[in-house]
């Protein structure tokens, strides 16, 4: 072990020396830093050559939605019989490292998806990708299949993602603005010992679709991901689908993910196919999709949020202004303290003077009010005579602001309500959803945002099927149908290839109910369960 460690240290030191020599050579020759032009084939080849790669992987165009085997060009028969070495090279050229690219259209600058399949990506190669990928303005997805990622290279991949503008959700400047990108990341067949996949669901991440199939994700890794999804204030709000198929998740991991769905209201699709989930995990998942009771911690948090909401609403309400008649002059208020210190005779004289002054002021105010009312009535009559129409009732008149007009408390209240309606609505905390109190507990209606749940090829029996049947029946009776207002609930539920009898009436009933809710039914096609099982998805 000591010799291997020394050998690795020597190799690393030699690599650092070679990079230093290359940097010095570039500085001596005055070579400028390469500016990527957005054509991946040219940029990737040039950056690999400058990084000192002896063998540069090819950049191959992949047909849109095509099979990986169709990505490589067909080999034409040579006119002359090749040598044995040439035959071997042409035979195994398919297995050479290649960077597969799917284009949006024929323009070479429209790289849409980038695929790395079946060859190890090291730190040096990721540094090259970090330079050429941000220049792709149409990039929507990155796919790493059995790329030999480690915890170290995975950290470099995390640093690479924010630099890709379209994966970050940024669009080119108008006109006209393009549609929002898919922001997809697929990391398959790359198990990580430190279980770092939960870092993809951080607050700074803006991925929408995350595929983590065949990564040996266990219950501990699923627990870390569940914590990231359940964190209400720091969870990734843009993540709408997660694929955790073909992993090692059992009932414990399914329970962690079910607890995350209690408060997560952004996830639309969750795939847990080909795992080791039994009835216990199925019951937990079914529980959060229907009405569930809050825990003591959640009840305390709900009360705190309700008090905070009430205080905010009180702060938004306009303050009541006192009436003019009940408002006391500032001089009278300021002299009350002095009156107590003065002799009785002096205070009586002052009070008489103040009463006379107040009476004169009231008379003047009444005279002014009568004059103003008379002027307004006369003006209204003139306008009616000119227009030849009846006066509009005061309730239907629109308030017109002039230089000397002031809005009263009612006008202010109406203005505040209008502003509140026009403001964009914020995401409602799930703990503030309408609750039901029974048996001394607080029940929420459950997660009605999740649209698709895939539990194909697990270990669920008839017990788990009955729990899901109850949930489906409840959602159909309470949740509005597709196209209606509000959450819709499950539209697809995949439970095929589990441990229940082939003639299970419960499974048949679930299939019958879900077929009515499927937004994209296929006429004359096989059921969804059989189709997915046959395709291996």
Average pLDDT of every residue of the chain: 75
Whether 317 shows a pLDDT value over 60: the answer reads yes
Q: What is the pLDDT of residue 170?
A: 45
Q: What is the pLDDT of residue 283?
A: 97
CATH architecture of the domain 191-293+433-521 equals Alpha-Beta Horseshoe (3.80)
Summarised one tens digit per residue, pLDDT across range 329-354 is: 444 444 444 444 444 554 555 566 66
Instruction: Give the predicted TM-score (pTM) of the model.
Output: 0.68
Between CA 210 and CA 187 the distance in angstroms is 8
The interaxial angle of helices 344-387 and 330-341, nearest 10 deg, is 170
Summarised one tens digit per residue, pLDDT across range 6-59 is: 665 666 666 656 665 665 555 444 456 788 888 898 999 999 998 888 889 999
Between CA 93 and CA 90 the distance in angstroms is 5
pLDDT above 70 as % of the chain: 59
The helix (run of H) or strand (run of E) holding residue 411 is helix 409-422
- Other C-beta atoms lying within 10 Å of the C-beta of residue 54: 5
- Domain residue limits, the chain: 37-73+86-171, 191-293+433-521
- Other C-beta atoms lying within 10 Å of the C-beta of residue 378: 10
The more confidently predicted of residues 414 and 441 is 441
Summarised one tens digit per residue, pLDDT across range 52-86 is: 888 899 999 987 655 444 444 444 444 555 677 66
Secondary structure string (H, E, C) spanning 298-331? HHHHHHHHHHHHHHHHHHHCCCCCCCCCCCCCHH
Whether 256 shows a pLDDT value over 90: the answer reads yes
Q: What is the pLDDT of residue 101?
A: 93
Q: What is the pLDDT of residue 207?
A: 87
Ramachandran bin of 203, using left for φ above 0, alpha for ψ from -120 to 50, beta for the remaining angles: alpha
Summarised one tens digit per residue, pLDDT across range 81-137 is: 567 766 666 666 667 889 999 998 888 888 999 999 999 999 999 999 999 998 888
Least Cα distance to 50 among 127, 152, 134, 142 occurs for 127
Between CA 101 and CA 86 the distance in angstroms is 26
């Amino acid at each position: 072990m000591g010799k291997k460690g020394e050998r690795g240290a020597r190799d690393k030191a030699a690599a650092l020396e070679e990079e230093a020599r290359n940097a010095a050579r570039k500085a001596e020759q005055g070579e400028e830093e390469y500016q990527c032009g957005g054509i991946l084939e040219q940029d990737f080849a040039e950056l690999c050559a400058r990084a000192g790669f002896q063998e540069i992987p090819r950049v191959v165009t992949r047909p849109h939605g095509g099979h990986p085997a169709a990505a490589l060009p067909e080999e034409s028969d040579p006119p002359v019989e090749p040598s044995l070495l040439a035959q071997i090279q042409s035979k195994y050229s398919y297995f050479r490292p290649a960077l597969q690219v799917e284009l949006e259209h024929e323009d070479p600058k429209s790289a849409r998806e980038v695929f790395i399949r079946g060859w190890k990506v090291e730190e040096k190669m990721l540094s090259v990708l970090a330079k050429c990928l941000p220049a792709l303005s149409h990039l929507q997805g990155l796919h790493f299949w059995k790329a030999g990622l480690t915890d170290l290279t995975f950290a470099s991949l995390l640093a690479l993602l924010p630099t890709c503008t379209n994966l970050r959700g940024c669009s080119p400047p108008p006109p006209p603005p393009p549609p929002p990108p898919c922001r997809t990341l697929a990391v398959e067949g790359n198990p990580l010992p430190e279980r770092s996949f939960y870092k993809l669901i951080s607050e700074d991440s803006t991925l929408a679709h995350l595929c983590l199939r065949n990564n040996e994700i266990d219950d501990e890794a699923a627990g870390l991901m569940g914590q990231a999804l359940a964190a209400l204030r720091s969870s990734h709000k843009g993540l709408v689908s997660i694929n955790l198929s073909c992993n090692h998740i059992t009932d414990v991991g399914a329970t962690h993910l079910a607890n995350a769905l209690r408060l997560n209201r952004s996830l639309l699709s969750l795939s847990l196919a080909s795992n080791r989930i039994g009835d216990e995990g199925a019951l937990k998942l079914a529980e959060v999709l229907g009405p569930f009771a809050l825990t003591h911690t959640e009840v305390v948090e709900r009360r705190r949020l309700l008090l905070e909401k009430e205080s905010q609403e009180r702060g938004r309400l306009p303050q009541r202004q006192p009436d003019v008649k009940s408002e006391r002059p500032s001089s009278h208020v300021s002299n009350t303290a002095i009156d107590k210190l003065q002799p009785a005779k002096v205070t009586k004289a002052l009070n008489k003077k103040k009463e006379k002054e107040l009476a004169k002021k009231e008379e003047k105010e009444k005279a002014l009010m009568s004059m103003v009312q008379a002027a307004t009535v006369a003006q209204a009559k003139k306008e009616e005579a000119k227009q030849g129409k009846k006066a509009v009732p005061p309730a239907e008149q629109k308030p017109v602001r002039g230089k000397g007009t002031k809005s009263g408390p009612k006008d202010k209240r109406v203005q505040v309500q209008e502003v509140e309606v026009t403001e964009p609505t914020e995401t409602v905390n799930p703990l503030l959803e309408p609750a039901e109190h029974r048996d001394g507990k607080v029940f929420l209606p459950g997660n009605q945002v999740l649209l698709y749940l895939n539990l194909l090829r697990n270990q669920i029996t008839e017990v788990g099927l009955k729990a899901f049947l109850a949930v489906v029946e409840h959602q159909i009776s309470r949740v509005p149908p597709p196209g209606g207002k509000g959450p819709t609930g499950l539209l697809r539920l995949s439970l095929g290839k589990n441990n229940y009898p082939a003639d299970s009436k419960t499974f048949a009933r679930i299939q019958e109910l879900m077929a009515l809710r499927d937004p994209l039914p296929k006429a004359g096609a096989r059921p969804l369960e059989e189709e997915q099982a046959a395709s291996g998805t």
